[in-house]
Structures are given as structure tokens and as C-alpha cells.
Amino acid sequence: MRELGYEVTLMKDGIGDIYELAAFVVRDGKIVMQSLAKSLPKEGGRTDKATHRRMPMLAIMSSINARSVLALTAGILLLTAAGNAQTSHDTKPDAIRTFRVHIPEKEIADLRRRIAATRWPDKETVTDRSQGVQLEKLQALVRYWGTDYDWRKAEAKLNSLPQFVTTIDGLDIYFIHVRSRPNTLALIMTHGWPGSIFELIKTIGPLTDPTAYGGRAEDAFDLVIPSIPGFGFSGKPTGTGWDVDHIARAWAELMKRLGYTRYVAQGGDWGSPISSAMARQAPKGLLGIHVNLPATVPPEVAAVLAGGGPAPAGLSEKERVAFDAVDTFYKKYRAYSVMMATRPQTIGYALMDSPAGLAAWMYDYNNVEPERLLTKDEMLDDITLYWLTNSATSAARLYWENGARGPIVAAAQKTAEISLPVAITVFPGEIYPAPETWARRAYRNLIYFHEVDKGGHFAAWEQPELFAAELRAAFKSLR
């Protein structure tokens, strides 16, 4: 079923107002928009600092000039004629199309129905988490999901931001793009698994408007937050080859299309190897990267960890802490990674047929880290995005694409080939606390290394202001 809608957007730049008419067609729960008419700003007006606010049509008709009224009216006529169109987006291969999220109510109702019909297993036979997610904990979360959780709040959160789609190498890439002040350094940030764009959006305010959070105006960034192929509203690859190197090239192309000639990149979890691949490839305009899950584990240590042996002799105190953390993670908490790296299709059948199964799979990450560090609504925004976009299987294939190339192993991520500046922040609740000795060995051009006192694997989600402050400090020398 397709629906046609209209929207008028007021963009204020401090000099003149611009009114833009847009159309959107609902397809598969998504709204793709195409601007068809735009009024002109006052003499000398600019749009590079525009902020967006949706307004009812009648509320603005009396305030715009005659030429704008004619343009908007003409746009409405065109929209009406196109009411049965399949899409309303620019067909040029490199076009950037505006985007809005709208999930049909019937899909949300189906989700709730499936949750209510959950067939639960028997209770674990231990009193701790050693067998996985505990039944009572998961039942409470899923019960809340099926009754009190409101996806429309998450949807509104996304739709309050400028969202876009562009096609790169035959695949639609969804991204959020928030501009700050003129001539601002651009930053492309990449999420991971089991995260999504939701894990990064709380940093948008501190990064694009630092003065509102105690920072300086000159510390602002233009922000680009793409969704990894196979995740969320990005397209799902229909063939192989979308590994971190391919994604890195796609991100460079995205920044080129957006007109950025100077930018930096940041990533945690899968965003780290993607950002590292960008640094290896060194596309024109990329100045440096920041990662919060760095690939610092040396080859000889990685070999011992892979074999499950004891810690090698000669490790410093911090290196021994890091070794023990990785050893514990490998032996107890990374079953999800092994499954998705070897049989993503097999696990996908279960994940996309059972909401409770999907919730348990994501909730169990790193010994139930989401429960410890995120609110119920934050967890469910993320899980629901995977469910409603049917992307658990396509997201899992990223592990298969990258095989045995461990994201924290220096040799696997070819860190010796990176000559661009690298910055690292170590958050104490991360999978392992990367020691500075390993970091300086792995990255020959390490320009920033800082250990902070709070935050974990989902650092941007958990501590957005601290995270933003770290990026400002990390990239200060590259502005």
C-alpha cells in the first residue's frame, strides 16, 4: 500500500526564511521525500546554517511572497498528478534524496501480536548469567516491549533530524547529516553491532552546537552518521563483497558527494575497523581518525588468545589487565560473533521470526552489557529498528564478510599500514582497556591517547557529552 503526503519546511538562516515543499510516498514502512518547490530567501540570505521545522501549510501561506505561493502551488499540482507514483526520488545515480521514517501501524500491531504469543523456554538452572540471558529479566523486558513501549517516539526522534539516502555502488546508503556553522570541520561517525544510528544521535547536539554544552563555537563539527549496509534503513547487499574495506570506500564517496574536502572519521565496534580501513586507504580529504575500540592486540598476544593459553610472560600490569579482559570475552561472551561469522543465515531465521529471540540475542551482548548501561527504551529503540527493518540477518552477514579479521587485533586490521593521524579514547567498560604501550606499537602516528573514568562499549550512547569532549580534544590539532 502506498500513500502520498505533503510537507512544508521552514528553514531559518537568520537572514531570510526559505519555505520548501516536499512530497513523500510511503513504501515498505519508509517515506522517501523529493523537494519540488522552494521559495527564495531575502536578498543576501544563505542556507548553509539552516535549521528545519515542519509547519502546517496554512500556517505559513500568509507570510511568504507571491512568487513563493506560485511555486508551492505548482508543486502541489505536480504532487497530485504524481499520486500513484512508485517513488518520488531523484533517479540520478549520485543523487542525495531526503528521507523520512514511517512504519505502518499494522507492522507495529504484528510485532505486539508476536510478542504476546511468545513461547518461553524453561528457566535457567543456575543463579547467574553463565547460561545466557536470564528468563525473568528477559520476560520483563519483552513484556514492557509488547505493552508500554512506544516506537512512535523513536520514529519522531529520527524524523526531527535531517535524513537522507544516496545510492553508492548500487546500494542505498541511509545517513543523518547535520550541518553546524560555516567552514566547520566535518566528521563521519560509524556505529556497530548490536548498535545502530540510535547509539550516536545523543552526540549530535554536543558535537554540532558545542556552546550549548559548555564548549567553544570553533569546536563544532558538521556531522554525517551513515547506517552500515545491511543495517537499519540502508539497503541490504544482495551479493558478497561489502566488507569493511568496501564500506570505507563508500564512506569516502559519500563525503565527496556532500562536498567535503576536509574531514575526520570516528568509530567504535564495527565503526572502528571501518574507520581504520578509511585511514589505510587515505582518501583525499581525510585528515585522521578516532576509534574507541582500537586494534592494539599484538600478534604474539593474539596467537596465545586464539589458542586459549595462559598470559605470556613479560606483560606490564595494564597489559595483563587487557589480556585477561580479552581472554574472558573470547572464552565466555563472543558466541554471537562466532555464529554470525560462520552461519549468519541460519541464525537469521530465528532472529527474524521471534521478537523475543531477537531481543535475547542483542540483550546478551558482552554478558548483558545493554541492560547494565542503557535504559529499557534505549535498548528497545535499537532492537525494534532491527525488527521493523528486517535487518538482523543482513547485519549479521557483516561478520561473515570479515571472517577471522578480529576487530581488536592489530595485524588483522593492518594497523602498520596506517600513516594518517590516529586518536584513541579508552572507556573503562569497553570489551578490553587498550594499554597505551600496545596502542603506540600498533599505530605509528598516534596523536592522542586518553583513558577516561566512565563509559563502556556504547560510549556515545551512555556518555554523549564526555564522548563529544573527547572528539573535540582528539581532533583539535587537525582543524
Residues labelled as active-site residues: 269, 399, 457
Q: How many residues in total does the chain contain?
A: 479
Between CA 360 and CA 23 the distance in angstroms is 39
* Pairing, β 30-38 against β 17-27: antiparallel
CA distances from 464 to 203, 208, 221, 452, 477 (A): 5, 12, 15, 13, 22
> 308: phi > 0 → left, psi -120 to 50 → alpha, else beta; which?
left
For residue 5, the cross-strand partners are 24
Sorted by sequence, the CB contacts under 8 Å of residue 466 that are 6+ apart come out as 452, 454, 455, 459
Identify the helix (H) or strand (E) that includes residue 360: helix 355-363
Torsion of CA 415, 416, 419, 422, to 10 degrees: 40
Judge whether 433 and 322 are in contact, CB under 8 Å. Answer: yes
Between CA 62 and CA 72 the distance in angstroms is 13
b/e string for 442-461 if b means 16 or more Cβ within 10 A? Answer: bbeebbbbeebeebbbbbbb
Judge whether 101 and 155 are in contact, CB under 8 Å. Answer: yes
Judge whether 217 and 475 are in contact, CB under 8 Å. Answer: no
Between CA 379 and CA 359 the distance in angstroms is 9
For residue 17, the cross-strand partners are 12
In the numeric block, the cell 585511514 is attached to 279
Between CA 251 and CA 257 the distance in angstroms is 10
Between CA 449 and CA 455 the distance in angstroms is 16
Between CA 252 and CA 173 the distance in angstroms is 12
b/e string for 82-119 if b means 16 or more Cβ within 10 A? Answer: beeeeebbeeeeeebbbbbbbbeeeebeebeeebeebe
DSSP string across 203-263: GHHHHH-GGGGT--GGG-EEEEEEPPTTSTTSPPPSSS--SHHHHHHHHHHHHHHTT-SSE
* Pairing, β 286-291 against β 163-168: unpaired
Judge whether 227 and 191 are in contact, CB under 8 Å. Answer: yes
